[in-house]
A and B are shown apart, each in its own frame.
Chain A
Amino acid sequence: MTQPIDAAKPDIRPARQGLMSRISFVWLVPVLALAISLGVAWQSYSDRGVLIQIGFDNATGIETGKTQLRYRDVTVGTVERVTFSEDLSQVLAHVRVENDVAGFIDSDAQFWVVRPQVSVRGISGLGTVLSGVYINGTWDNAVSTPETRFTGLGNAPLVGPDAKGTSIVLRARNGNQLAAGAPIVYKGIRVGSIEAPVLTPTGSAVVTNGFIEAPYDVFITSATRFWDTSGFSLSLGAGGVKLDVDSLASLVEGGVTFETLVSGGTPVDSGAIFPIYESESLARNSLFQDADADLLSVAAEFDGSVGGLVAGSEVRFRGIKVGEVSGLTMTAEKTGTRRSVRLLAAMQLRPGSLGLGLDASKDEALILLRDYVAQGLRARLTSANILTGALIVELVELPQEPPEVFEANAKPYPLIPSVDANLSDFNATAEGVFKRINGLKVEELIAAATSALDSVTVLASSDGTKAVLPELTKTLEEARLVLADLREADAGAKVTSALSSAEGAAKAVETAAARLPALAEQLERLTLRTETVVASYGEQSRLISSAMDALRNISEAADSLQSLARAIQRNPNSLLLGR
């Protein structure tokens, strides 16, 4: 082949040799891309978190890829799949949890589905109406062996595992006044809440978990008593009518309150069981019925009716409550041929209340009672409330009574001798009142009043009274005549001239008075000026303060002058007439 055209002058260089010339540098791009892709893939694989399974009864609202797992309202995972458990008993939500929290999700983690809820305390989870439900999780902030299989809760738990406080178990006779989330209130402050009540396995009672939040759980001791404050309670007792209404919320959803009624209780551990009494009085009574409480049981026998005395009635000593009646029993007795029935009132006294100090023992109290009885201490029924007829037991000192012995070894309880009920006193009193009312001479009074009225009538209709009137008429007539005489004697003109001169005087006074406001004003100006001068001197010195006093007097004088002037202007005659 020929070269028909002249080519440009060649620039000849040796061909490049080596590996680099055989392989294009562009290969770096796919290698780099591959490296990056693999790196990203590895990272997303290792970052994708831990898969945990949460079992629920149903999957209402749970959506694959959308439903989130939240911890303290921060999304920490997403539901990847929803499957059934092996036996179809549960729905398993497979949740991919972020790595940094997965370590905390251990056996104490709790999960529940948050749905919109309307309760007495308000509406919660409203946001989930639009956004769909989410799974809320709670766990403590300690890393321990992670778990992957959990059972979701039906309802939000009362407290998270990291909440500080004491959980207790409350037992109630029935649960119809307790709702999940009902508050536990202490002196009106909400200090905790209760979970949904459940029946005990035997069905004999209802138990519910309660939780007392941290700073307040110190108030719970073994001597604490809980009672139900649901709704309102109306009681008619020795203290009269008592109506308790707690907050409206507790009226609807129930509530529990507590009080540590006696000192000396020991702190309780989590899980301690407390009964819920139906009312405050029952809770208080329970203290006296407690076998373990350091109470002294005594008894007293009464004759006659004890209607009005019930378990829980007070036992008073010199007007102070020292215990309560714990029960009433009847014992039939046979003295000779005559049968009689005596009523035994068992009482429980608090040794501490008898004046022996808080840590008094029962024995000390027994000795004290023995000495008292020797001095004439007796148990006596007394009426506590006229309206209700409630009775209380009163320990009275009656030294004039024949001496009796305190039967410390009597069965079932040491026996305090009794005296006849003091009811007669009351009856006597009432009778006295009625007697006095009866004694009021109402009829005589009425008779007297009637007779007084009668006398008035008689007086009015008597001849003397009638005679007075014409005389009066006559006197008036005479007065008229005198006046007419006066007129005729030109007394009138004289009086007129006297009046006119008086008027002239009043005019003079008026013109004088017209100048009064100016004077008052001047005075006031002076006062003001002086005041500013004085103020510029400062207010400390005594001279100044007395000067201020003087000024105040002057300004008061000016005020009176002004009011005088005003009065004169309005009614000049007042100067003359003094009104």
Chain B
Amino acid sequence: MMTARTAGFVACDRCGLVYGQDSAICTRCGSVLASRAPLSLQRTMAWLIAGLIAYLPANIYPMLLTSTLFERQESTIVEGVVDLVHHGSYGVAFIVFFASIVIPLGKFMAMFYLVFAVRRHWALKSQQRHVMLEIVEFIGRWSMIDVFVVAILSALVQLDTVATINPGVAAVSFALSVVFTMLAAQSLDPRLIWDEAETEAEAEARA
């Protein structure tokens, strides 16, 4: 199997022009050339940790501040789900639970796994890893569904004393968390996954 790297080439990420391996800057479009995204794993880790830090307050602090005529309620994400279940809205509860808890947590685990796998040369089918990364990248934006709900509700329900919904601290930190994890998924250079496969294949070939 031949890759651009083994062939001693490096392609410009922006305009696709192919250079020799020693080239540093694309002469056509001026972008920096690199066979693999520099410090990709580090950046991914950094974004991931930032996302994780933002995810904690997102679950501790209230997401929605609901003020009705008689009472004022603050509900975190989990409380919101529980409330929805109590009110019998199982479908909505499931969607919120899935989008706000399952997906973010799954994303964290998947990304951490990928980073460690690449770094520690853990064995897994590269194909699977790549699919995993693609899923993470695809699904990342759907995590924002909770933030959208909060944004729309707080824009719509502003009836002064009768009922008012305001976003809580958690809404901001949850949005940040999603943004950070999306950036993390983007910073991970998928070619690193295949590099592993390659070395494995070479090792197998040698053996």
CB within 8 Å of B: which residues of A? 1, 3-5, 7-13, 15, 22-24, 26-30, 32-34, 37, 40, 66, 130-132
CA A132 – CA B54 in complex, angstroms? 36
Q: A30's contact among B23, B25, B49, by CB below 8 Å, is which?
A: B49
Q: A27's contact among B23, B46, B54, B169, by CB below 8 Å, is which?
A: B46
Flag B149-161 by CB within 8 Å of A: 1 or 0 each: 0000000000000
B53 touches A9 (CB 8 A): no
Counted as pairs of residues, one from A and one from B, with CB atoms less than 8 Å apart, the total is 87
Flag B81-103 by CB within 8 Å of A: 1 or 0 each: 00000000000000000000000
A26 touches B7 (CB 8 A): no
A12 touches B46 (CB 8 A): no
A26 touches B54 (CB 8 A): no
Known contacts A7-B18, A24-B43: A131-B70 contact under CB 8 Å: yes
Using Cβ atoms and an 8 Å threshold, which residues of chain B touch A34?
Answer: 49, 53
B50 interface residue, CB < 8 Å from A? yes
Using Cβ atoms and an 8 Å threshold, which residues of chain A touch B69?
Answer: 130
Q: B22's contact among A10, A26, A28, by CB below 8 Å, is which?
A: A10
A33 touches B54 (CB 8 A): yes
B27 touches A8 (CB 8 A): yes
Q: B25's contact among A1, A13, A27, A28, by CB below 8 Å, is which?
A: A13
Flag B101-145 by CB within 8 Å of A: 1 or 0 each: 000000000000000000000000000000000000000000000
CA A7 – CA B139 in complex, angstroms? 38
Which of A13, A26, A34, A40 has the most C-beta atoms of chain B within 10 angstroms of its own C-beta?
A26
Using Cβ atoms and an 8 Å threshold, which residues of chain B touch A130?
Answer: 69-70
CB within 8 Å of A: which residues of B? 6-9, 17-20, 22-28, 38-39, 42-43, 46-47, 49-50, 53-54, 56-57, 69-71, 169, 176, 180, 187
Using Cβ atoms and an 8 Å threshold, which residues of chain A touch B24?
Answer: 11-13, 15
Chain B residue with the shortest CB-CB distance to A8: B19
Known contacts A9-B27, A13-B25: A30-B50 contact under CB 8 Å: yes
Known contacts A11-B24, A12-B23, A37-B56: A26-B47 contact under CB 8 Å: yes
Using Cβ atoms and an 8 Å threshold, which residues of chain A touch B46?
Answer: 24, 26-30
A11 touches B71 (CB 8 A): no
Chain B residue with the shortest CB-CB distance to A68: B72
Give me 12 A-to-B residue pairs in the complex whose CB atoms sit less than 8 angstroms apart, sorted by A's number.
A5-B18, A8-B17, A8-B19, A10-B19, A10-B22, A11-B19, A11-B23, A29-B46, A30-B53, A34-B49, A37-B56, A40-B57
Shortest Cβ distance from residue B67 to the other chain A in the assembled complex, whole angstroms: 12
Shortest Cβ distance from residue A417 to the other chain B in the assembled complex, whole angstroms: 82
Using Cβ atoms and an 8 Å threshold, which residues of chain B touch A32?
Answer: 50
CA A34 – CA B39 in complex, angstroms? 21
CA A4 – CA B69 in complex, angstroms? 77
Question: 9 smallest A-B Cβ distances: which pairs?
Answer: A30-B50, A10-B23, A30-B49, A26-B46, A24-B39, A13-B24, A26-B43, A7-B20, A24-B42
Known contacts A1-B8, A30-B49, A131-B71: A8-B43 contact under CB 8 Å: no
Shortest Cβ distance from residue A12 to the other chain B in the assembled complex, whole angstroms: 5
A37 touches B53 (CB 8 A): yes
New contact pairs (4) apart from A7-B18, A9-B27, A27-B46, CB-CB < 8 Å: A13-B24, A22-B39, A24-B39, A29-B46
Shortest Cβ distance from residue B166 to the other chain A in the assembled complex, whole angstroms: 17
